[in-house]
Amino acid sequence: MRTRRLVGSCAASSSSTPEPTHTSCPTNSESTVTVMSDLITPRGSYINGGWRRSSGSASLELINPATEESLGRVTDATSADVDDAVAAASAAFAAWSATSAEERIAVMNRVAVAVSERAEELSRLQSLQMGAPLVSARAAVQASSNLLRAYMDAANVLSWEYIRRDAWGQSLMRREPVGVVAAISPWNFPLATALNKMVPALLAGCSIVMKPAPEAPLEVGIFGEICSEAGLPDGVLNVLMGGREAGEALVGHRGVHKITFTGSTAAGRRVAQVAAERFARVSLELGGKSAAIVLDDVDLAAAVPIIAGANFGNSGQACYSLSRVLVPSARHDEFVDAVAEVAARHVLGDPLDEATTIGPLVADRQRARVLHYLETAERQGATVAVGGGRPAYLERGYFIEPTVLVGVDNTMTVAREEIFGPVMSVIPYDSVEEAVAIANHSDFGLHGGVFTTDPERGLAVAKQVVTGSIAINRHGTNPSAPFGGVKMSGMGREHGAEGIGSFLETKTYVLPPEMYDSMKASGTREG
């Protein structure tokens, strides 16, 4: 195995190991002005079908992480704004919940068309606010569009009511919306993570108050506009631009019946505590420290690009990143050499440059956090095989080189805690049983992967891993398949019918025999 430092450039290079180019890779300021125009300071939060300024005077600054320059400010919602948004959602709930599933699907279908039409605008906003390369942001917006349509497909086939007769009697079961939903989403995939809350809640017949992350709130505000233009009644979807205080007020609001949150495990714990005080329903999609188990028969040419993408994509800012890679000892050096070559080919720079493959981290505090983990890893005995720090040739921006650590064991901090940066820890093992034990020896259980030339063998190994989802020779999940974690990775599921179901309560009606017979004769589904 060779130990190397990562190099890169702001322009693509034909060499497998590009030479460093000392340039600051400035973001295209003209594009910034065009995209950001009339989107921020004047409008505040989107409540009851229109924009309004906060009732307070505080504001939140949006920073372009590639240039460290201000994009503008949004008003910071107060507890009074939260009250107004919840009141609007409460007032709109009765009429919206009384609509049919078909009516709600029709509205969301118009929304899906509009999202596709505004995909480039939404993609550029993601690049500007949180630093995703434009090519990655476009893929994320496309994934958001796919997610929208997958939820509509699920709503079309979901059994909203069904009857049951057995030796104990006869009943009608109806799935009814839980009520007013409070939703808080993170900044790493601003639109997709928010859609995972808004779309199933709306399809279920709930009204919602959505608070996106203060680092990247603008796409969600645009989505609120899109929904209104598509015919969603005023007050059914409200979007608060705000920080931690607004989030606390929203989660603790007694007018909220269900809370759905995506973020850190520490923040999720606080959400659960506040919700427990009034037994509000809660779904939590939290952190991960997922393992990729590379079996001894693996085809590295096929597996390495997938595993590298699962670590370095979105600058490693993904809860389902495969940040622990478990490799047979006999193939350890071969794997590290192969993945180091992939890491070295990445191009760091201006997210709006089509050649860029890795953008900055979202904020200076996030870069400092990742650097601290790297320092801790080396202090505890790990070695940097590639990357390991800030690229010297980029004068501005919160960049971190894609990094591969070797000499890692599963007790090290870097293997125990979620880093949320482009850092891969390679851990050797000597038997499949040991690999499974290492994978399971974690406080988290969100995702995972098994890589092998024998998918049946891979599935047998995957069944032994304690996690919410796991892929064979792939990374990520399908938008129609349930996604969520076990252990400290959260509770509840998103995506598909299960995702819609998390916003529904099952109400039982005990029927007399003749009513059951009549409902069955009229075609009500038995279940």
* Distance separating alpha carbons of residues 55 and 76, to the nearest angstrom: 9
**At 297, which CATH number?**
3.40.309.10
Question: How many CB atoms within 10 Å of residue 225?
Answer: 17
Residues 351 and 281 grouped into a single domain: no
Which pTM does this prediction carry? 0.92
Examine residue 433 and state whether it is found in any structural domain, yes or no. Answer: yes
Q: Domain range spanning residue 327?
A: 291-482
Residues 116 and 263 grouped into a single domain: yes
Residues 66 and 91 grouped into a single domain: yes
Tens place of pLDDT for every residue, the chain, 527 residues?
333 333 232 322 322 333 333 233 433 434 333 345 445 444 689 999 999 988 888 999 999 999 999 999 888 999 999 999 999 999 999 999 999 999 999 999 999 999 999 999 999 999 999 999 999 999 999 999 999 999 999 999 999 999 999 999 999 999 999 999 999 999 999 999 999 999 999 999 999 999 999 999 999 999 999 999 999 999 999 999 999 999 999 999 999 999 999 999 999 999 999 999 999 999 999 999 999 999 999 999 999 999 999 999 999 999 999 999 999 999 999 999 999 999 999 999 999 999 999 999 999 999 999 999 999 999 999 999 999 999 999 999 999 999 999 999 999 999 999 999 999 999 999 999 999 999 999 999 999 999 999 999 999 999 999 999 999 999 999 999 999 999 999 999 999 999 999 999 999 999 999 999 999 999 999 99
Examine residue 510 and state whether it is found in any structural domain, yes or no. Answer: no
For strands 69-75 and 59-64, give the pairing.
antiparallel
**At 144, which CATH number?**
3.40.605.10
Closest CA to 140 of 190, 183, 198: 190
Which residue's entry shows tokens 């949004």? 74
Predicted confidence at residue 208, as pLDDT, reads: 98
Examine residue 8 and state whether it is found in any structural domain, yes or no. Answer: no
What are the C-alpha distances in Å from 291 to residues 468, 471, 486? 12, 11, 14
Which residue's entry shows tokens 């007790």? 411
Predicted confidence at residue 453, as pLDDT, reads: 98
Q: Extract the tokens encoding 308.
A: 């590298």
Examine residue 141 and state whether it is found in any structural domain, yes or no. Answer: yes
Examine residue 384 and state whether it is found in any structural domain, yes or no. Answer: yes
What are the C-alpha distances in Å from 222 to residues 38, 118, 194, 226? 12, 10, 12, 6
Residues 123 and 147 grouped into a single domain: yes
Predicted confidence at residue 43, as pLDDT, reads: 62
Contacts of 57 (CB under 8 A, 6+ apart): none
Alpha-helix runs per DSSP H in 98-242: 101-117, 119-130, 134-157, 190-204, 218-229
Residues 279 and 298 grouped into a single domain: no
Closest CA to 185 of 139, 217, 144: 217
Residues 131 and 146 grouped into a single domain: yes
Closest CA to 238 of 51, 78, 74, 85: 85
Residues 500 and 394 grouped into a single domain: no
Residues 328 and 188 grouped into a single domain: no
Examine residue 324 and state whether it is found in any structural domain, yes or no. Answer: yes
Residues 71 and 127 grouped into a single domain: yes
Residues 314 and 403 grouped into a single domain: yes
Predicted confidence at residue 2, as pLDDT, reads: 31
* Distance separating alpha carbons of residues 371 and 346, to the nearest angstrom: 19
Contacts of 522 (CB under 8 A, 6+ apart): none
Examine residue 465 and state whether it is found in any structural domain, yes or no. Answer: yes
Contacts of 521 (CB under 8 A, 6+ apart): none
Predicted confidence at residue 32, as pLDDT, reads: 37
Question: How many CB atoms within 10 Å of residue 511?
Answer: 18
For every residue of 306-358, DSSP letters joined together read HHHHHHHGGGG--TT---EEEEEGGGHHHHHHHHHHHHHT--BS-TTSTT--B
Number of domains in the chain: 2
Active site residues: 285, 319
Examine residue 527 and state whether it is found in any structural domain, yes or no. Answer: no
Residues 181 and 74 grouped into a single domain: yes
Residues 394 and 268 grouped into a single domain: no
